[in-house]
Amino acid sequence: MDELDQSQIQMLRKAFDTFDQEKKGVISTDMIGTILDMLGHELDDDTLTEIIQEYDVNGTGVLEFKEFCSLAARFMVEELDAEAMLAELREAFRLYDREGNGYITTEVLKEIFKELDNTLSNEDLESMITEIDTDGSGTVDFDEFLEVMTGE
């Protein structure tokens, strides 16, 4: 975790907690794919499996927070330029904001999550949405989206 500063670790904690739906302190490998996908890293299954094997140091088949951080560090080091990362997130948001409303409805967000990971149950989806839509408006604006992705 050496390459990460305190605020980055905080942001990862938040992302980790959001996606650790069952609060088991681990993230499933499926979810890692989803997260990387949302961050704009589309990886094929083989690459993803390789990456997870590489970072699942204790071989549990899931990523604990520490493992998650070292994996994230690899992708974040590539993203040192905060401006570039913001632009990338804006791009991702725009992609999801299909009608250009400036927000993503939680319904659409659920569909997106389902597309990314079809093993998610409705309950999983609900709890993720509740964490993301912090003001409970039923829509996710760019700030809320950003908060999930960056903890800011």
Site pattern 78..117 for Ca ion (x: CB under 5 A): ----------------------------------------
* Of the residues 133, 147, 148, 149, which one makes contact with Ca ion according to CB under 5 A: 133
CA distance 27 to 133: 21
**Judged by CB under 5 A, how many residues of this single chain contact Ca ion?**
6
Taking CB under 5 A as the binding criterion, the range among 1-9, 15-23, 71-79, 131-139 that sits at the site for Ca ion is 131-139
Cβ closest to Ca ion, residue 59 vs residue 118: 59
Cβ closest to Ca ion, residue 56 vs residue 124: 56
Q: Does 137 bind Ca ion (CB under 5 A)?
A: yes
Cβ closest to Ca ion, residue 20 vs residue 56: 56
Concatenating the DSSP letter of every residue in 29-58 gives: HHHHHHHHHHTT----HHHHHHHHHHH-TT
Q: Does 130 bind Ca ion (CB under 5 A)?
A: no
Cβ closest to Ca ion, residue 79 vs residue 142: 142
Q: What are phi and psi of 50, to 5 degrees?
A: -60, -45
CA distance 41 to 113: 15
**Which of the residues 54 through 73 are near Ca ion (CB under 5 A)?**
56, 58, 60
Q: Least CB distance from residue 80 to Ca ion, whole Å? A: 26
Identify the burial level of 34 via C-beta atoms within 10 angstroms of its C-beta, where 0-12 means exposed, 13-18 middle and 19 or more buried. buried
Which residues, including other chains, have CB under 8 Å from residue 25's CB and lie 6 or more apart?
Answer: 64, 65
CA distance 10 to 122: 28
**Chain positions contacting Ca ion, by CB under 5 A:** 56, 58, 60, 133, 135, 137
